[in-house]
Amino acid sequence: MIYCGIDWAERTHDVALVNDSGQLLAKRHITDDAAGYKVLLDLLAEYGDTEDNPIPVAIETSRGLLVAVLRQGKRKVFAINPMAAARYRDRHSVSRKKSDPGDALVLANILRTDMHAHRPMPEDSDLARAIAVLARAQQDATWNRQQISNQLRSLLREYYPAALAAFEPWKNGLCRPEAREVLKLAPTPKRAARLTRTQLQAALKRAGRQRGLEAEAERLRVVFRDNWAHQPTLVEDALGKQMLALVVQLQAACTAADDLAQAVEEAFPQHPDADVILSFPGLGVQLGARVLAEIGDDRNRFADARGLKAYAGSSPITRASGKKSSITRRWVKNDRLNHAGYLWAFSALRGSPGAMAHYRRRRDEHGDWHAAAQRNLFNRMLGQLHHCLKQRVLFEETTAFPTVLATAA
């Protein structure tokens, strides 16, 4: 058996091949381009790599063109956490020396000695991987939009509280196009106080608003002309220019989030698992796509529901030493799936009577706090999702929460 380790870098990579006894058979320094990939594939073929019996590869990343080339066919690619690789390095040298060829050798030896303890990259379909790209990008765009919105809100509190008061009744506040149009028109409170009804109506109309223009323009005009504290004129003008720069960033973030959300809505329903995922209460297209992006469609990835729960961080972890034992929540987990699970459990409380009853029982009978009760609900529904995907059946309320519904009846 031959094992391959690749120390990944931005421009070049170091490759090492070892056999069952740990003997170094070959090492290469390749470039990160098509020519370098061909050298790597030829090296693997030279030492017995075939389509039916490929050589397993360990690398410290799960993304990029090199990984895409290696994942073609039946080859098992292991994405080793760099922290885990650093711990393995101490097994071969206590002097703390480090080199790129040495790291490639360490990665190859990880597969030689402990391949059973590491999980290969899942064999997801191309559609599932495409949905994962879109869902993660949309999630990042949403977080970026919220971060810029928070920065804009903090800046407005320093010199322009009238804007916050004017946009407070609107859902999503500063992220709405009406708010951005008004801020572009009046970047300072003094300029806002001079706005006329006609100018405000025109701004609202440019933002896409069609109803209640006169009433809304009058409300904004009254708020802007109220008695507010002001910064010095020069300082206020400077803050207005800073605010306009943030508005431009927020506009781009909102556009990116909306475009990616539209792309997710087009791609996710095409997947065969979409019907099963969308049958669960609390899961819509966007949130369901995020869940699918993290668990994938490789049914052999998790041996049972316990593995999936541990991967999501919903199941507790026990720490025991001697006579001391403690049960706590998991800190090492898939943060994206865990975040999606928090939103999923929160949304399911209104969409499922059984979910609400389970949540109330955790709060009242077990004394869980809100986050712990939601995590327990997410843990249960994640197990149900694993079962439904495995058996290709849709979610049923009476099957998922039979005892709770019987008691309620």
Q: pLDDT digit of tens for each residue in the chain (409 aa)?
A: 899 999 988 889 999 999 998 899 999 999 999 999 999 999 999 998 888 889 999 999 888 899 999 988 888 999 998 888 888 887 777 767 778 888 899 999 999 998 888 889 998 899 999 999 999 999 999 999 999 999 999 999 999 999 999 999 888 889 999 999 999 999 999 999 999 999 999 999 998 888 889 999 999 999 999 999 899 999 999 999 999 999 999 999 999 999 999 999 999 999 999 999 999 999 999 999 999 999 999 988 888 899 999 999 988 888 888 888 887 888 888 899 999 999 999 999 998 999 999 999 999 998 989 999 999 999 999 999 999 999 999 999 988 888 655 555 5
Environment class of 115 (CB within 10 Å of its CB; exposed 0-12, middle 13-18, buried 19+): middle
**Token pair for 355:** 């979910």
Calculate the CA 94 to chain-centre distance: 37
Helical segments of 160-212, H only? 161-167, 177-185, 189-193, 197-206
Q: Return all residues near 291 (Cβ < 8 A) that are at least 6 apart.
A: 277, 283, 337, 340, 341, 344, 385
C-beta of residue 162 within 8 angstroms of C-beta of residue 228: yes
Question: Considering only CA atoms, which of 135, 179, 172, 178 is closest in space to residue 156?
Answer: 179
**Token pair for 219:** 């409300």
Q: How far is the C-alpha of 62 from the C-alpha of 118, rounded, in Å?
A: 14
C-beta of residue 192 within 8 angstroms of C-beta of residue 236: no
SS3 26: strand
Question: How much is the CA Rg of the chain, to the nearest whole Å?
Answer: 28
Phi, psi of 281 (to 5 degrees): -65, 135
Res 315: pLDDT: 86
Question: Considering only CA atoms, which of 55, 54, 53 is closest in space to residue 15?
Answer: 55
SS3 107: helix
Res 320: pLDDT: 84
CA dihedral 97, 103, 107, 109 (to 10 degrees): -50
